[in-house]
Amino acid sequence: MIAVNMMPVRVFGEIEFGFGLVKISLVIGLVILSLVLDLGLLPGTERLGFRYWRQDAFRELSYGSDGVIHGPFGRFLAVWSTLINAAFAFAHIQLIAIAGAETINPRRAIPKALSRTSIGVFALYVSVIFSIGLILPATHPGLRSSATSGSGSPFAIAAREAGIGFVGSIINAVVLTSAFSSGVTSIFVSSRSLVALADESNAPAILKRTHEGTGVPYVAVLAASSLGGLSYLSLYKTTAEALALLVGLSAVAGLVAWCVLCFTYLRMRWGMKVQGFTRDDLPYQAPLQPFIGWFAFIVCLLTLLFNGFAVFLPGNFKISDFLSSYSNVFLFVVLYYSWRRISNISTTSLGSIKLSGEFKAARGDSSGESPVVAGYELVPEAPA
Protein backbone atom coordinates (compact mmCIF):
# COMPACT_ATOMS: atom_id res chain seq x y z
CA MET A 1 0.00 0.00 0.00
CA ILE A 2 2.87 2.36 0.78
CA ALA A 3 4.56 1.44 -2.51
CA VAL A 4 1.42 2.28 -4.51
CA ASN A 5 1.15 5.67 -2.81
CA MET A 6 4.79 6.39 -3.63
CA MET A 7 4.01 6.13 -7.35
CA PRO A 8 3.05 9.11 -9.54
CA VAL A 9 -0.62 10.02 -9.40
CA ARG A 10 -1.09 8.77 -12.98
CA VAL A 11 0.09 5.27 -12.01
CA PHE A 12 -1.94 5.49 -8.80
CA GLY A 13 -5.01 6.24 -10.91
CA GLU A 14 -4.37 3.26 -13.19
CA ILE A 15 -4.05 0.88 -10.23
CA GLU A 16 -7.20 2.19 -8.55
CA PHE A 17 -9.01 1.98 -11.88
CA GLY A 18 -8.08 -1.70 -12.04
CA PHE A 19 -9.28 -2.32 -8.49
CA GLY A 20 -12.51 -0.55 -9.34
CA LEU A 21 -13.09 -2.81 -12.34
CA VAL A 22 -12.61 -5.90 -10.16
CA LYS A 23 -15.13 -4.66 -7.57
CA ILE A 24 -17.68 -3.59 -10.16
CA SER A 25 -17.33 -6.92 -11.96
CA LEU A 26 -18.03 -8.75 -8.69
CA VAL A 27 -21.14 -6.67 -8.01
CA ILE A 28 -22.48 -7.23 -11.52
CA GLY A 29 -21.76 -10.95 -11.24
CA LEU A 30 -23.53 -11.21 -7.87
CA VAL A 31 -26.57 -9.33 -9.17
CA ILE A 32 -26.78 -11.70 -12.16
CA LEU A 33 -26.37 -14.69 -9.82
CA SER A 34 -29.21 -13.35 -7.66
CA LEU A 35 -31.51 -13.10 -10.66
CA VAL A 36 -30.63 -16.67 -11.68
CA LEU A 37 -31.39 -17.94 -8.17
CA ASP A 38 -34.55 -15.86 -7.87
CA LEU A 39 -35.95 -17.08 -11.18
CA GLY A 40 -35.10 -20.70 -10.36
CA LEU A 41 -33.00 -21.20 -13.49
CA LEU A 42 -30.64 -23.71 -11.86
CA PRO A 43 -31.53 -27.42 -11.73
CA GLY A 44 -33.20 -28.36 -8.45
CA THR A 45 -34.14 -24.79 -7.53
CA GLU A 46 -37.56 -23.17 -7.49
CA ARG A 47 -38.72 -19.73 -8.51
CA LEU A 48 -38.59 -17.36 -5.53
CA GLY A 49 -40.02 -14.20 -7.01
CA PHE A 50 -40.80 -11.66 -4.29
CA ARG A 51 -41.89 -14.14 -1.64
CA TYR A 52 -39.41 -12.82 0.93
CA TRP A 53 -40.74 -9.31 0.46
CA ARG A 54 -44.14 -10.48 1.64
CA GLN A 55 -42.75 -11.67 4.97
CA ASP A 56 -43.24 -9.03 7.62
CA ALA A 57 -39.79 -9.63 9.10
CA PHE A 58 -39.49 -6.05 10.33
CA ARG A 59 -42.13 -6.66 12.98
CA GLU A 60 -40.04 -9.54 14.32
CA LEU A 61 -36.97 -7.36 14.84
CA SER A 62 -35.65 -6.80 18.34
CA TYR A 63 -32.42 -5.34 19.61
CA GLY A 64 -29.71 -7.35 21.35
CA SER A 65 -28.21 -10.77 20.80
CA ASP A 66 -30.96 -12.28 22.96
CA GLY A 67 -33.71 -9.93 21.78
CA VAL A 68 -33.62 -8.02 25.06
CA ILE A 69 -35.50 -4.99 23.70
CA HIS A 70 -38.76 -5.72 21.89
CA GLY A 71 -41.50 -3.65 20.34
CA PRO A 72 -41.20 -0.45 18.30
CA PHE A 73 -38.23 0.81 20.32
CA GLY A 74 -36.36 -2.46 19.81
CA ARG A 75 -37.03 -2.30 16.07
CA PHE A 76 -35.80 1.28 15.95
CA LEU A 77 -32.58 0.39 17.79
CA ALA A 78 -32.02 -2.61 15.52
CA VAL A 79 -32.18 -0.37 12.45
CA TRP A 80 -30.17 2.45 14.08
CA SER A 81 -27.37 0.03 14.99
CA THR A 82 -26.72 -0.56 11.28
CA LEU A 83 -26.00 3.11 10.50
CA ILE A 84 -22.37 3.00 11.63
CA ASN A 85 -21.68 0.13 9.23
CA ALA A 86 -23.49 2.03 6.49
CA ALA A 87 -21.30 5.07 7.18
CA PHE A 88 -18.22 2.86 6.92
CA ALA A 89 -19.40 1.57 3.54
CA PHE A 90 -19.62 5.14 2.20
CA ALA A 91 -16.26 6.21 3.67
CA HIS A 92 -13.87 8.21 1.48
CA ILE A 93 -16.57 9.55 -0.80
CA GLN A 94 -14.87 12.93 -0.19
CA LEU A 95 -11.92 11.55 -2.17
CA ILE A 96 -13.52 13.23 -5.18
CA ALA A 97 -12.42 16.66 -3.99
CA ILE A 98 -9.03 15.55 -2.67
CA ALA A 99 -7.96 13.56 -5.73
CA GLY A 100 -9.61 16.08 -8.04
CA ALA A 101 -7.22 18.76 -6.83
CA GLU A 102 -4.41 16.86 -8.57
CA THR A 103 -6.07 16.83 -11.99
CA ILE A 104 -5.20 19.48 -14.56
CA ASN A 105 -8.62 21.13 -14.42
CA PRO A 106 -10.27 20.40 -11.04
CA ARG A 107 -13.21 22.72 -11.69
CA ARG A 108 -14.17 20.61 -14.69
CA ALA A 109 -13.26 17.19 -13.32
CA ILE A 110 -14.87 17.36 -9.88
CA PRO A 111 -18.47 18.16 -10.99
CA LYS A 112 -18.27 15.35 -13.55
CA ALA A 113 -16.96 12.97 -10.89
CA LEU A 114 -19.78 13.95 -8.53
CA SER A 115 -22.35 13.08 -11.18
CA ARG A 116 -20.71 9.72 -11.89
CA THR A 117 -20.44 8.91 -8.21
CA SER A 118 -24.15 9.53 -7.64
CA ILE A 119 -25.01 7.16 -10.48
CA GLY A 120 -22.50 4.59 -9.23
CA VAL A 121 -23.79 4.65 -5.66
CA PHE A 122 -27.36 4.16 -6.80
CA ALA A 123 -26.55 1.48 -9.37
CA LEU A 124 -24.17 -0.57 -7.22
CA TYR A 125 -25.29 -0.15 -3.62
CA VAL A 126 -29.03 -0.18 -4.25
CA SER A 127 -28.86 -3.06 -6.73
CA VAL A 128 -26.96 -5.19 -4.20
CA ILE A 129 -29.51 -4.49 -1.45
CA PHE A 130 -32.37 -5.22 -3.85
CA SER A 131 -30.76 -8.51 -4.91
CA ILE A 132 -30.17 -9.72 -1.36
CA GLY A 133 -33.83 -9.11 -0.58
CA LEU A 134 -34.81 -11.41 -3.45
CA ILE A 135 -32.74 -14.46 -2.53
CA LEU A 136 -32.64 -14.56 1.26
CA PRO A 137 -35.22 -13.88 4.00
CA ALA A 138 -34.32 -11.35 6.67
CA THR A 139 -34.88 -14.03 9.32
CA HIS A 140 -32.37 -16.50 7.86
CA PRO A 141 -30.17 -17.86 10.71
CA GLY A 142 -27.04 -17.57 8.55
CA LEU A 143 -27.31 -13.78 8.69
CA ARG A 144 -26.68 -13.91 12.45
CA SER A 145 -23.41 -15.77 11.93
CA SER A 146 -20.26 -14.08 13.25
CA ALA A 147 -18.23 -15.32 10.27
CA THR A 148 -15.95 -12.60 8.89
CA SER A 149 -15.05 -14.45 5.69
CA GLY A 150 -16.89 -14.53 2.39
CA SER A 151 -18.81 -17.60 3.55
CA GLY A 152 -20.95 -15.34 5.74
CA SER A 153 -22.06 -13.21 2.79
CA PRO A 154 -25.79 -13.38 1.97
CA PHE A 155 -24.87 -14.18 -1.62
CA ALA A 156 -22.60 -17.04 -0.53
CA ILE A 157 -25.31 -18.43 1.78
CA ALA A 158 -27.94 -18.38 -0.97
CA ALA A 159 -25.53 -19.88 -3.52
CA ARG A 160 -24.45 -22.61 -1.09
CA GLU A 161 -28.07 -23.61 -0.50
CA ALA A 162 -28.50 -23.82 -4.27
CA GLY A 163 -25.50 -26.16 -4.53
CA ILE A 164 -22.86 -23.61 -5.59
CA GLY A 165 -20.13 -23.77 -2.97
CA PHE A 166 -17.33 -21.71 -4.53
CA VAL A 167 -19.01 -18.30 -4.42
CA GLY A 168 -17.68 -17.62 -0.92
CA SER A 169 -14.10 -18.16 -2.13
CA ILE A 170 -14.59 -15.71 -5.00
CA ILE A 171 -16.03 -13.13 -2.62
CA ASN A 172 -13.06 -13.66 -0.28
CA ALA A 173 -10.60 -13.00 -3.10
CA VAL A 174 -12.33 -9.80 -4.19
CA VAL A 175 -12.77 -8.62 -0.60
CA LEU A 176 -9.01 -8.94 -0.12
CA THR A 177 -8.36 -6.77 -3.18
CA SER A 178 -11.01 -4.32 -1.97
CA ALA A 179 -9.39 -4.14 1.46
CA PHE A 180 -6.04 -3.44 -0.19
CA SER A 181 -7.62 -0.75 -2.37
CA SER A 182 -9.33 0.79 0.66
CA GLY A 183 -6.01 0.90 2.51
CA VAL A 184 -4.33 2.56 -0.45
CA THR A 185 -7.10 5.14 -0.64
CA SER A 186 -6.97 5.83 3.10
CA ILE A 187 -3.25 6.55 2.94
CA PHE A 188 -3.79 8.81 -0.08
CA VAL A 189 -6.50 10.84 1.64
CA SER A 190 -4.58 11.08 4.93
CA SER A 191 -1.31 12.11 3.28
CA ARG A 192 -2.94 14.86 1.20
CA SER A 193 -4.77 16.12 4.28
CA LEU A 194 -1.45 16.36 6.12
CA VAL A 195 0.07 18.26 3.19
CA ALA A 196 -2.86 20.70 3.20
CA LEU A 197 -2.36 21.29 6.92
CA ALA A 198 1.36 21.86 6.39
CA ASP A 199 0.67 24.32 3.55
CA GLU A 200 -1.34 26.45 5.98
CA SER A 201 1.34 26.15 8.69
CA ASN A 202 -0.97 24.00 10.80
CA ALA A 203 1.38 21.00 10.69
CA PRO A 204 5.19 20.55 10.49
CA ALA A 205 6.62 21.90 7.24
CA ILE A 206 8.54 18.67 6.65
CA LEU A 207 5.24 17.08 5.58
CA LYS A 208 5.31 19.21 2.41
CA ARG A 209 8.44 17.54 1.08
CA THR A 210 7.85 15.89 -2.28
CA HIS A 211 9.87 13.61 -4.52
CA GLU A 212 11.41 15.61 -7.37
CA GLY A 213 10.58 13.04 -10.02
CA THR A 214 7.06 11.98 -9.05
CA GLY A 215 5.78 14.92 -7.02
CA VAL A 216 4.58 12.52 -4.33
CA PRO A 217 4.61 13.92 -0.75
CA TYR A 218 6.62 10.96 0.55
CA VAL A 219 7.02 12.24 4.11
CA ALA A 220 3.25 12.67 4.49
CA VAL A 221 2.68 9.22 2.98
CA LEU A 222 5.04 7.61 5.50
CA ALA A 223 3.44 9.55 8.36
CA ALA A 224 -0.06 8.49 7.30
CA SER A 225 1.08 4.88 6.96
CA SER A 226 2.55 4.74 10.44
CA LEU A 227 -0.86 4.08 12.02
CA GLY A 228 -1.25 0.89 10.03
CA GLY A 229 0.14 -0.95 13.03
CA LEU A 230 -3.33 -0.77 14.56
CA SER A 231 -4.13 -3.80 12.42
CA TYR A 232 -2.09 -5.88 14.86
CA LEU A 233 -4.97 -5.50 17.30
CA SER A 234 -6.09 -8.84 15.91
CA LEU A 235 -3.15 -10.51 17.65
CA TYR A 236 -4.71 -10.16 21.08
CA LYS A 237 -8.38 -10.02 20.10
CA THR A 238 -10.45 -12.20 17.85
CA THR A 239 -10.59 -11.07 14.25
CA ALA A 240 -14.27 -10.13 14.58
CA GLU A 241 -13.61 -7.95 17.65
CA ALA A 242 -10.62 -6.23 16.05
CA LEU A 243 -12.60 -5.63 12.86
CA ALA A 244 -15.51 -4.14 14.81
CA LEU A 245 -13.16 -1.78 16.65
CA LEU A 246 -11.42 -0.63 13.48
CA VAL A 247 -14.72 -0.23 11.60
CA GLY A 248 -16.06 1.89 14.45
CA LEU A 249 -12.96 4.09 14.58
CA SER A 250 -12.91 4.57 10.80
CA ALA A 251 -16.64 5.21 10.47
CA VAL A 252 -16.67 7.76 13.29
CA ALA A 253 -13.70 9.57 11.76
CA GLY A 254 -15.59 9.70 8.47
CA LEU A 255 -18.72 11.05 10.16
CA VAL A 256 -16.65 13.78 11.84
CA ALA A 257 -15.25 14.74 8.43
CA TRP A 258 -18.73 14.78 6.87
CA CYS A 259 -20.10 16.97 9.67
CA VAL A 260 -17.26 19.43 9.13
CA LEU A 261 -17.74 19.40 5.36
CA CYS A 262 -21.49 19.99 5.65
CA PHE A 263 -21.06 22.79 8.18
CA THR A 264 -18.36 24.40 6.02
CA TYR A 265 -20.69 24.32 3.02
CA LEU A 266 -23.60 25.79 5.00
CA ARG A 267 -21.36 28.54 6.36
CA MET A 268 -20.26 29.34 2.81
CA ARG A 269 -23.93 29.73 1.86
CA TRP A 270 -24.46 32.07 4.82
CA GLY A 271 -21.42 34.05 3.68
CA MET A 272 -22.83 34.27 0.15
CA LYS A 273 -26.06 35.72 1.50
CA VAL A 274 -24.24 38.31 3.61
CA GLN A 275 -22.00 39.34 0.69
CA GLY A 276 -24.85 39.57 -1.81
CA PHE A 277 -24.11 36.47 -3.89
CA THR A 278 -26.87 34.20 -5.16
CA ARG A 279 -27.04 30.55 -6.16
CA ASP A 280 -26.57 31.59 -9.81
CA ASP A 281 -23.07 32.85 -8.97
CA LEU A 282 -21.92 29.32 -8.15
CA PRO A 283 -19.86 27.66 -10.92
CA TYR A 284 -21.42 24.31 -9.99
CA GLN A 285 -24.89 23.84 -8.52
CA ALA A 286 -25.93 20.69 -6.72
CA PRO A 287 -29.68 19.99 -6.72
CA LEU A 288 -31.87 20.68 -3.65
CA GLN A 289 -29.24 22.70 -1.84
CA PRO A 290 -28.96 23.95 0.88
CA PHE A 291 -31.71 21.62 2.17
CA ILE A 292 -29.69 18.48 1.39
CA GLY A 293 -26.73 20.06 3.18
CA TRP A 294 -28.82 20.62 6.30
CA PHE A 295 -30.27 17.12 6.11
CA ALA A 296 -26.84 15.52 5.74
CA PHE A 297 -25.41 17.59 8.60
CA ILE A 298 -28.22 16.69 11.02
CA VAL A 299 -28.22 12.98 10.14
CA CYS A 300 -24.43 12.70 10.39
CA LEU A 301 -24.39 14.59 13.69
CA LEU A 302 -27.12 12.42 15.23
CA THR A 303 -25.42 9.24 14.02
CA LEU A 304 -22.14 10.49 15.44
CA LEU A 305 -23.58 11.31 18.86
CA PHE A 306 -25.67 8.16 19.28
CA ASN A 307 -23.63 5.54 17.41
CA GLY A 308 -22.42 4.03 20.69
CA PHE A 309 -25.77 3.89 22.45
CA ALA A 310 -25.38 0.15 23.08
CA VAL A 311 -22.60 0.67 25.64
CA PHE A 312 -25.02 2.62 27.85
CA LEU A 313 -27.56 -0.18 28.04
CA PRO A 314 -27.56 -2.12 31.35
CA GLY A 315 -24.71 -4.63 31.48
CA ASN A 316 -23.32 -3.69 28.05
CA PHE A 317 -20.56 -1.22 28.93
CA LYS A 318 -17.12 -2.08 27.53
CA ILE A 319 -14.32 0.47 27.54
CA SER A 320 -13.10 -0.73 24.11
CA ASP A 321 -16.56 -0.24 22.56
CA PHE A 322 -16.91 3.18 24.18
CA LEU A 323 -13.53 4.34 22.87
CA SER A 324 -14.28 2.94 19.43
CA SER A 325 -17.53 4.95 19.32
CA TYR A 326 -16.43 8.25 20.85
CA SER A 327 -12.63 8.58 21.09
CA ASN A 328 -12.39 10.25 17.66
CA VAL A 329 -15.12 12.72 18.64
CA PHE A 330 -13.26 13.73 21.81
CA LEU A 331 -9.95 13.82 19.95
CA PHE A 332 -11.36 16.12 17.27
CA VAL A 333 -12.84 18.55 19.79
CA VAL A 334 -9.67 18.65 21.91
CA LEU A 335 -7.33 19.11 18.94
CA TYR A 336 -9.53 21.74 17.30
CA TYR A 337 -9.94 24.00 20.31
CA SER A 338 -6.38 23.43 21.54
CA TRP A 339 -4.98 24.49 18.19
CA ARG A 340 -7.24 27.54 18.06
CA ARG A 341 -6.00 28.61 21.49
CA ILE A 342 -2.33 27.90 20.77
CA SER A 343 -2.41 29.64 17.37
CA ASN A 344 -4.67 32.45 18.57
CA ILE A 345 -7.00 31.88 15.61
CA SER A 346 -10.41 33.54 15.54
CA THR A 347 -13.44 32.60 13.46
CA THR A 348 -13.63 34.41 10.12
CA SER A 349 -16.74 36.56 9.91
CA LEU A 350 -19.28 35.79 7.20
CA GLY A 351 -18.55 39.07 5.47
CA SER A 352 -14.81 38.34 5.36
CA ILE A 353 -14.97 34.92 3.70
CA LYS A 354 -13.06 35.15 0.41
CA LEU A 355 -15.73 34.34 -2.16
CA SER A 356 -15.52 36.88 -5.00
CA GLY A 357 -12.01 35.86 -6.02
CA GLU A 358 -12.96 32.19 -6.07
CA PHE A 359 -16.03 32.83 -8.23
CA LYS A 360 -14.00 34.88 -10.72
CA ALA A 361 -11.30 32.21 -10.89
CA ALA A 362 -13.89 29.48 -11.43
CA ARG A 363 -15.53 31.35 -14.30
CA GLY A 364 -12.20 32.21 -15.90
CA ASP A 365 -10.52 28.79 -15.62
CA SER A 366 -11.87 26.69 -18.47
CA SER A 367 -8.56 25.59 -19.96
CA GLY A 368 -6.92 22.24 -19.65
CA GLU A 369 -8.19 18.72 -19.82
CA SER A 370 -8.14 15.97 -17.24
CA PRO A 371 -5.32 13.42 -17.66
CA VAL A 372 -6.09 10.34 -19.73
CA VAL A 373 -5.22 6.92 -18.29
CA ALA A 374 -5.37 3.79 -20.45
CA GLY A 375 -7.73 5.51 -22.86
CA TYR A 376 -10.03 6.82 -20.11
CA GLU A 377 -10.27 10.31 -18.73
CA LEU A 378 -8.88 10.34 -15.20
CA VAL A 379 -11.79 11.60 -13.15
CA PRO A 380 -11.63 10.95 -9.39
CA GLU A 381 -14.38 8.72 -8.06
CA ALA A 382 -15.24 7.47 -4.59
CA PRO A 383 -14.23 3.85 -3.94
CA ALA A 384 -17.04 1.31 -4.19
**Chain segment 366-383, per-residue pLDDT in tens:** 444 444 333 334 444 444
pTM of the model: 0.74
pLDDT of residue 232: 64
pLDDT of residue 374: 36
Residues lower than pLDDT 50 in the chain: 366-384
pLDDT of residue 378: 40
Apex 319 CA angle, 313 and 321, nearest 5: 70
pLDDT of residue 287: 80
pLDDT of residue 202: 80
pLDDT of residue 299: 92
User: Are the CB atoms for 378 and 372 separated by under 8 Å?
Assistant: yes
pLDDT of residue 301: 93
pLDDT of residue 193: 84
